[in-house]
C-alpha cells in the first residue's frame, strides 16, 4: 500500500471535505470528527507515550483511517500539539466562562476571590488527564524538547488575563505592584507549583483540605508582599 498523501484534502471515503457553502450539519461534522480524533490521540499518548504512539494506533482508537488523521493534522507531532492546545483551551475556557477575570479585576475582597481562583486552578491542573499529560511532557522533554515548549505556549493567554486583573487592582490602589509579570509568576509559584509539587504532579491525590491550605497560605503570602503599606 502506498504511503498516505499528507497534502490530500479527501477524507477516508475519498470525498473532499465539506465546502464553505455546506449546510450546518456538514459543517458540524468536520469539527466533531476533529475533536474525536484529538480525544482518541490523548488516550493513546497517555497510554503509550509520545514515542510509543503511532498514527495507526490513534486512527484505530478514533475509528478513522490514517488518511483522515493526515488530512486533519498532517503528522503525529502536529496531532500532539493539537491535543495540548485542546486541553489548555478547555482549561482557559472554564475560567473565562466563570467570569473570574472580570470579577478579580473589580474585586473588593481580593483575599476571597484569589482564594477562589486558586482553588479552581489547582483543581484543574490536578485533574487526572491534565496531570498525566504534564508528566508525559516532562518525561519526553529530553528526547523531544519541543513538547515542553508546546505545553507552555497556551499558558500566556490565561496569565495575560491575570496580569490584566492585577494591573487594574494596582490602578485602583488595592495592590502595590511594580512588575506585574513577576507578581503573576510569584503567585503561580506559591499556589500552583506548590500544589503540583505536593501532589507529585498528580500521582498523589490532595484532599480538599490540603489543597485549600496550600492556596490560602500562598495567597496570604502573596498579599502580604503586594498590599500597599498604609501610613499610620
Statement: residue 145 has pLDDT above 70: yes
Higher pLDDT, 25 or 45: 45
pTM here is 0.69
Mind listing the pLDDT tens digit for each residue in 159-176? 888 899 999 999 999 999
Mind listing the pLDDT tens digit for each residue in 101-114? 788 899 999 999 99
State CA 108 to chain mean position distance: 28
Judge contact between 120 and 90, C-beta under 8 A.
no
Nearest of 84, 95, 90 to residue 41 by alpha carbon: 84
As a whole number, the mean pLDDT across the chain is: 81
- Distance between CA 9 and CA 69 in Å, rounded? 11
pLDDT score of 157? 66
Give burial (CB, 10 Å; 0-12/13-18/19+) of 19. Answer: exposed
Highest mean pLDDT among 12-26, 84-98, 131-145 belongs to 131-145
| SS3 (DSSP) at 113 | helix
Judge contact between 91 and 38, C-beta under 8 A.
no
Higher pLDDT, 28 or 168: 168
Give the residue ranges of DSSP H helices in 99-109: 100-105
Q: Virtual CA dihedral for 88, 124, 133, 195, nearest 10 degrees?
A: 120
Average pLDDT over residues 11-18: 37
pLDDT score of 92? 66
- Distance between CA 221 and CA 166 in Å, rounded? 16
Share of the chain above pLDDT 70, in %: 78
pLDDT score of 220? 97
pLDDT score of 26? 36
Element housing 39 (H / E): helix 24-52
Could you give all domains of the chain from N- to C-terminal order, each with its CATH number? 1-74 (1.10.10.60), 99-226 (1.10.357.10)
Phi, psi of 159 (to 5 degrees): -70, -35
Amino acid at each position: 500500500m502506498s504511503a498516505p498523501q499528507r497534502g490530500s484534502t479527501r477524507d477516508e471515503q475519498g470525498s473532499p471535505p465539506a465546502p464553505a457553502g455546506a449546510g450546518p450539519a456538514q459543517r458540524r461534522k468536520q469539527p466533531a470528527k476533529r475533536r474525536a480524533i484529538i480525544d482518541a490521540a490523548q488516550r493513546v499518548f497517555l497510554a503509550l507515550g509520545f514515542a510509543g504512539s503511532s498514527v495507526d494506533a490513534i486512527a484505530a482508537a478514533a475509528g478513522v483511517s490514517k488518511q483522515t488523521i493526515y488530512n486533519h493534522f498532517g503528522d503525529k507531532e502536529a496531532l500532539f500539539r493539537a491535543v495540548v492546545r485542546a486541553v489548555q483551551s478547555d482549561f482557559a475556557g472554564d475560567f473565562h466562562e466563570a467570569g473570574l477575570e472580570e470579577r478579580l479585576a473589580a474585586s473588593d475582597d481580593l483575599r476571597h476571590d484569589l482564594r477562589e481562583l486558586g482553588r479552581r486552578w489547582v483543581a484543574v491542573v490536578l485533574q487526572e488527564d491534565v496531570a498525566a499529560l504534564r508528566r508525559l511532557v516532562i518525561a519526553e522533554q529530553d528526547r523531544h524538547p519541543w513538547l515542553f515548549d508546546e505545553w507552555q505556549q497556551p499558558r500566556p493567554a490565561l496569565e495575560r488575563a491575570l496580569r490584566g486583573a492585577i494591573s487594574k487592582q494596582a490602578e485602583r490602589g488595592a495592590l502595590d505592584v511594580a512588575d506585574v509579570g513577576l507578581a503573576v509568576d510569584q503567585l503561580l509559584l506559591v499556589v500552583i507549583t506548590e500544589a503540583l509539587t505536593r501532589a507529585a504532579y498528580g500521582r498523589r491525590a490532595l484532599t480538599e483540605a490540603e489543597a485549600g491550605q496550600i492556596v490560602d497560605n500562598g495567597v496570604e503570602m502573596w498579599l502580604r508582599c503586594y498590599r500597599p503599606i498604609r501610613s499610620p
